[in-house]
């Protein structure tokens, strides 16, 4: 490293904090994150958190057995709340043994094995036709020559229909169930107020009660051709799963196939409208659908970061991490690592992958359960939208949700056929 390089090196935590502030102001954080990852792989924040953003280091930490979830969503920090506020949140929460995203082995491995088959690539292929039918029905009700909001009019409804079909939510209930899922997820935002978290837990309790009714109905007429029926059959045959875990697993199946997919769809459609040359490449060659999906999820991942707690012996790059300290892995920065991706800031669906996939869905033990289904739906929607509406265009700049962790748009207004 030259003297000139040393004098121009920027403080990594300052860059990181500026990126967080930009995202929370609904501005683009990726230029700052690109600078951050171009000059290093990780740093330790003043509060003791280790922030990892180099691709190789991020991948290494995501599969490390010395990082743990500890039974809760590490990304949601309630340490600033009073004991009374934390007690109120605990009292409002529904009985929940812990989602797969918040528990560790051996329980994580046991429960993941039970539901993973429903999301295997060959198993989700049957939902390709469901996705086509859902998209056809949605587009039939939209005016092609007047502005529509791609979030509320398209992207919300595709995953709601598909995952609702998968877990057996009756068609008339799917919009209501979608709203419950979105409402309860708001409380996961680390910046949410105690009041917002309480309301989210109330909605979560309502969602769990609905799922319990679904399960009870399935117990009376077990249909093992459906994922829900297979779960109930496993419970009835003595599988090591409690009634509370069964409800939590169904909730996890829905969230694994819904929230992330909504964000991926909206981010990807927006990118294709912002880069019409890439939309034209996909339109000319629909076989590029998966490449378009993978590039969209790299350039603007649905979830920017994930957090863990360090166990005894954890370290990053030879630097020890105190047991119990937080480790935050910035997936969106790792996806821009110039040591791994050529021209990392460019959206290019023809870029060679060289066997390297973005880390947007994580890696290792907690690799996102719904990846195959989410990508299948996105492949279908991207290809169909650019083919049916070659002149689709934004009518105003997309409005980003003011959040660092959740990468999504509040509104994407476009005309399908101007």
Quick: pLDDT tens for 77-89: 666 678 888 788 7
**For 285, how many CA atoms within 13 A lie in the half-sphere containing its CB?**
10
The pLDDT value given to residue 8? 63
> Phi/psi of residue 308, each to 5°?
-140, 170
Low-confidence ranges of the chain (pLDDT < 50): 1-7
Rounded to whole angstroms, the Cα distance separating 184 from 164 reads: 17
Pick from 61, 65, 23: which is nearest to 42 by CA? 61
> Phi/psi of residue 168, each to 5°?
90, 25
Torsion of Cα atoms, 358 then 363 then 368 then 374, to 10°: 20
% of the chain with per-residue pLDDT over 70: 94
Q: Which two three-digit tokens encode residue 401?
A: 């949700």
pLDDT tens, residue by residue, 43-56: 999 999 999 999 99
Pick from 217, 199, 64: which is nearest to 52 by CA? 64
% of the chain with per-residue pLDDT over 90: 62
CATH code for the domain of 157: 1.10.630.10
The pLDDT value given to residue 188? 67
> Phi/psi of residue 328, each to 5°?
-110, 125
pLDDT tens, residue by residue, 348-378: 999 987 778 999 999 998 899 899 999 999 9
Rounded to whole angstroms, the Cα distance separating 8 from 35 reads: 12
The DSSP output letter for 316 is E
Does this model's pTM top 0.75? My answer is yes
**CA 406, chain centre distance (Å):** 8
Q: Which two three-digit tokens encode residue 83?
A: 């004991």
Q: How many CB atoms lie within 10 A of CB 367?
A: 13
Q: How many domains does the chain have?
A: 1
**In sequence order, what DSSP letters do the residues of 67-104 get, joined into one string?**
EE-TTS-TTS--TTS-HHHHHHHHHHSPP----GGG--
Q: Quote the domain boundaries for residue 282.
A: 3-415
Distance (Å) of CA 25 to CA 22, 122, 364, 400, 403:
5, 41, 32, 9, 8
Cβ contact 177:165 at 8 Å: no
Residues 6 or more apart in contact with residue 208 via CB below 8 angstroms: 94, 95, 96, 247, 248, 251
The pLDDT value given to residue 2? 37
Rounded to whole angstroms, the Cα distance separating 349 from 104 reads: 36
């Amino acid at each position: 490293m030259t003297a000139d390089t040393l004098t121009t090196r920027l403080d990594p935590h300052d860059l990181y904090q500026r990126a967080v502030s930009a995202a929370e102001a609904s501005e683009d954080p990726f230029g700052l994150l690109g600078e951050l990852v171009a000059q290093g792989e990780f740093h330790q924040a003043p509060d003791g958190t280790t922030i990892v953003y180099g691709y190789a280091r991020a991948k290494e930490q995501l599969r490390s057995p010395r990082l743990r979830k500890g039974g809760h969503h590490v990304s949601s920090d309630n340490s600033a709340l009073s004991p009374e506020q934390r007690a109120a949140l605990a009292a409002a929460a529904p009985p929940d043994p812990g989602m797969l995203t918040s528990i560790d082995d051996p329980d994580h491995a046991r429960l993941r094995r039970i539901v993973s088959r429903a999301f295997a690539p060959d198993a989700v292929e049957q939902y390709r036709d469901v996705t086509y039918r859902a998209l056809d029905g949605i587009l039939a009700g939209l005016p092609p020559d007047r502005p529509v909001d791609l979030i509320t009019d398209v992207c919300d409804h595709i995953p709601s229909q598909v995952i609702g079909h998968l877990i057996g939510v009756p068609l008339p209930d799917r919009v209501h169930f979608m709203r419950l899922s979105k409402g309860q997820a708001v409380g996961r935002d680390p910046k949410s107020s105690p009041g917002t978290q309480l309301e989210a837990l109330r909605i979560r309790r309502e969602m769990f009660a609905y799922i319990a009714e679904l399960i009870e109905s399935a117990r009376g007429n077990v249909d093992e051709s459906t994922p829900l029926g297979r779960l109930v059959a496993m419970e009835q045959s003595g599988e090591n799963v409690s009634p509370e875990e069964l409800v939590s697993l169904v909730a996890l199946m829905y969230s694994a196939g819904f929230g992330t997919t909504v964000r991926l769809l909206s981010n990807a459609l927006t990118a294709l409208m912002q880069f019409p040359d890439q939309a034209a490449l996909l339109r000319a060659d629909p076989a590029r659908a998966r490449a378009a999906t993978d590039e969209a999820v790299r350039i603007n991942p649905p979830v920017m970061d994930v957090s863990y707690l360090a166990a005894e012996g954890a370290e990053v790059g030879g630097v020890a991490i105190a047991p119990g300290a937080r480790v935050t892995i910035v997936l969106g920065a790792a996806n821009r690592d110039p040591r791994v991706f050529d021209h990392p800031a460019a959206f290019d669906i023809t870029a060679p992958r060289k066997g390297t996939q973005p880390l947007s869905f994580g890696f290792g033990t907690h690799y996102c359960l719904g990846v195959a289904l989410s990508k299948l739906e996105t492949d279908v929607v991207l290809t169909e939208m650019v083919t049916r509406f070659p002149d689709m265009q934004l009518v105003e700049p997309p409005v980003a949700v003011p959040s660092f962790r959740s990468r999504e748009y509040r509104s994407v207004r476009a005309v399908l056929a101007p």
